[in-house]
């Protein structure tokens, strides 16, 4: 295995390692859950997962991005609650942040 | 038996969509349509990546191969930071760990869609998951939550996004870093906004949202104490555990 690695150009090995690692991440959640028995706690965990992933992605990001980003997300959420329209919510958020940044805030 | 009604009102699952899990080319088109709002951000990010790769001394072939085969923007950008001419097993190990840490969120995203994807034929899942991105996840979730079950949606997202992501690196590579700041157009916030508004169709009341708060809080803490790229996974796992141990209703 090591001999094979040494015989290949390093950049090919690096990109292959990245690709295999990434693909393993992409499939393993689906594969793993197909062998796990879905007991009620597992089912509740799965149900909690989407919202948790969203919060875990977005909260640290906006905390770093500052007040403009926070207002943007609150505005987009408000529009989404009001009209239930993804594009409208995205448009409102983007319009706000573009104006906010253009004003140098 | 009409407990799951696909509806056209929000464009996430029109009435023509099959409710039984299945594949349709209409679904592929729907996926392509649903990913449109992300396209400006994808093009910009790819251009920035191409410029960064050129600056690091990668060849155009290496640059495009990485985009096409790895196909995970953030990890590509981070690996560029430590790209070198003299590879050792140690630096290779570092690359593998970094890549896994950045992309580990996809393990949980995949797990969250598994109740739907388990009905798909393995070859289709193999392709859809190769093309799986943050955009695929949030669009797939949106489709699923509004009653849709068409695997074509995921394929459509990938079929449109993949060539754009690969090809848009070319102008960046050739032109170098000579372009405006994408933040001026708010493009850095497209994914956060699309993620955040997904909370609205997911909302089932305050109690099921308690794990979300736990997840967000844990991620915030981990990112503040310097947990690197693992904060998303830490938060997601914490939220999942909170969900597992918190009964949805007292009498359940």
> Are A27 and B105 an interchain contact pair (Cβ–Cβ within 8 Å)?
no
pLDDT of residue B180: 61
Residue A1 confidence (pLDDT) above 90: no
Interface list for A 58-87 with B (CB within 8 A): 58-65, 69, 72-73, 76-77, 79-81, 84-87
Q: Does the residue A71 lie in any domain?
A: yes
Alpha-carbon gap, residue B78 to B99, rounded angstroms = 8
Same domain for A63 and A25: no
Q: Does the residue A58 lie in any domain?
A: yes
CA B45 to chain A, closest CA, distance in angstroms equals 17
Q: Which of B158, B185, B212 is the last residue of a domain?
A: B185
Q: Does the residue A15 lie in any domain?
A: yes
pLDDT of residue B252: 42
Same domain for B149 and B40: yes
Same domain for B133 and B59: yes
Q: B interface mutation test: which of A4, A18, A101 has the most B CBs within 10 A?
A: A18
Same domain for B51 and B138: yes
Burial class (CB in 10 A: 0-12, 13-18, 19+), B93: exposed
Q: Which residue of A has its CA nearest to B249?
A: A44
Domain extent for A80: 50-105
**Average pLDDT of the segment spanning A28-42:** 92
Contacts of B210 (CB under 8 A, 6+ apart): B242, B246
Mean of all residue pLDDT scores within chain B:
88
pTM comes to 0.85
Question: How many interchain CB pairs under 8 A, A with B?
Answer: 272
Same domain for A54 and A32: no
Alpha-carbon gap, residue B155 to B25, rounded angstroms = 9
Beta-bridge partners for B22: B150
Interface list for A 22-41 with B (CB within 8 A): 22-30, 32-34, 41
Q: Does the residue A68 lie in any domain?
A: yes
Same domain for B169 and B214: no
For chain B, what percent of residues have pLDDT higher than 70? 89
> Are B199 and A54 an interchain contact pair (Cβ–Cβ within 8 Å)?
yes
* ipTM tops the 0.95 cut: no
Q: Are A80 and A71 in contact (CB under 8 A)?
A: no
pLDDT of residue B116: 96
Q: Does the residue B197 lie in any domain?
A: no
Q: Is A55 on the interface with B (CB under 8 A)?
A: yes
Residues of A in contact with B79 (CB under 8 A): 14, 18
Residue B10 confidence (pLDDT) above 70: no
CA A82 to chain B, closest CA, distance in angstroms equals 10
Same domain for B214 and B119: no
Q: Which of A84-88, B42-46, B188-192, B212-216 has the highest mean pLDDT?
A: B212-216
Same domain for A84 and A59: yes
Q: Are A94 and A100 in contact (CB under 8 A)?
A: no
> Are A44 and B247 an interchain contact pair (Cβ–Cβ within 8 Å)?
yes
Same domain for B33 and B141: yes
Q: Does the residue B132 lie in any domain?
A: yes
Alpha-carbon gap, residue A8 to B221, rounded angstroms = 42
Q: A interface mutation test: which of B8, B157, B212, B221 has the most A CBs within 10 A?
A: B212
Residues of A in contact with B124 (CB under 8 A): none
What is the signed CA dihedral for A6, A4, A26, A77, rounded to 10 degrees? 10
Same domain for B147 and B245: no
> Are B79 and A14 an interchain contact pair (Cβ–Cβ within 8 Å)?
yes
Domain count, chain A: 2
Burial class (CB in 10 A: 0-12, 13-18, 19+), A3: exposed
Same domain for A105 and A75: yes
- CA neighbours closer than 13 Å in the CB half-sphere of residue B214: 21
Q: Does the residue A44 lie in any domain?
A: no
Closest by Cβ to B198, choosing from A32, A54, A56: A54
Alpha-carbon gap, residue B224 to A59, rounded angstroms = 11
Q: How far is CA B2 from CA A47, B19, B20, B153, in A?
A: 22, 10, 12, 22
Alpha-carbon gap, residue B163 to B166, rounded angstroms = 5
pLDDT of residue B7: 45
Domain count, chain B: 2
Alpha-carbon gap, residue A22 to B99, rounded angstroms = 7
> Are B193 and A50 an interchain contact pair (Cβ–Cβ within 8 Å)?
no
Nearest residue to B63 via CA among B73, B9, A63, B124: B73
Which secondary-structure segment (H or E) carries B196?
helix B190-197
Same domain for B212 and B106: no
Same domain for B92 and B137: yes
**Average pLDDT of the segment spanning A61-66:** 90
Q: B interface mutation test: which of A7, A30, A92 has the most B CBs within 10 A?
A: A30
Closest by Cβ to A62, choosing from B184, B192, B208: B192
CA B25 to chain A, closest CA, distance in angstroms equals 23
**Average pLDDT of the segment spanning B66-90:** 90
Same domain for A54 and A17: no
Domain extent for B104: 25-185
Residue B111 confidence (pLDDT) above 90: yes
């Amino acid at each position: 295995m090591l001999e094979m690695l040494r015989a290949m150009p390093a950049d090919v090995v690096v990109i292959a390692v990245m690709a295999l690692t990434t693909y393993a991440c992409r499939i393993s959640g689906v594969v793993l859950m197909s062998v796990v028995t879905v007991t009620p706690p597992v089912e509740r965990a799965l149900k909690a997962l989407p919202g948790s992933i969203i919060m875990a992605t977005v909260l640290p990001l906006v905390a770093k991005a500052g007040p403009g980003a926070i207002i943007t997300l609150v505005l987009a959420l408000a529009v989404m609650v009001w009209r239930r329209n993804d594009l409208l919510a995205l448009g409102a958020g983007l319009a706000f942040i573009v104006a906010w940044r253009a004003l140098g805030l | 038996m009409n407990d799951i009604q696909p509806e056209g009102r929000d464009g996430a699952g029109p009435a023509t969509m099959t409710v039984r899990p299945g594949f349709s080319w209409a679904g592929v088109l729907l996926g392509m349509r649903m990913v449109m709002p992300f396209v400006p951000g994808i093009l910009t990010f790819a251009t920035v990546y191409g410029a960064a790769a050129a600056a690091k001394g990668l060849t155009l072939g290496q640059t495009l191969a990485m985009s096409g085969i790895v196909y995970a923007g953030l990890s590509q950008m981070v690996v560029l930071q430590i790209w070198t001419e003299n590879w050792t097993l140690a630096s290779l190990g570092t690359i593998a760990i970094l890549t896994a840490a950045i992309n580990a969120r996809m393990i949980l995203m995949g797990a969250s869609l598994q109740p739907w994807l388990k009905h798909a034929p393995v070859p289709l899942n193999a392709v859809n998951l190769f093309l799986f991105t943050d955009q695929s996840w949030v669009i797939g979730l949106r489709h699923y939550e509004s009653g849709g079950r068409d695997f074509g949606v995921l394929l459509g997202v990938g079929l449109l996004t993949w060539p754009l992501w690969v090809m848009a690196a070319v102008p960046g590579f050739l032109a170098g870093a000579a372009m405006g700041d994408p933040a001026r157009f708010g493009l850095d916030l497209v994914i956060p906004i699309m993620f955040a508004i997904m909370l609205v169709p997911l909302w089932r009341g305050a109690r099921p949202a308690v794990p979300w708060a736990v997840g967000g809080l844990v991620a915030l803490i981990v990112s503040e104490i310097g947990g690197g790229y693992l904060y998303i996974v830490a938060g997601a796992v914490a939220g999942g555990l909170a969900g597992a141990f918190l009964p949805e209703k007292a009498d359940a």
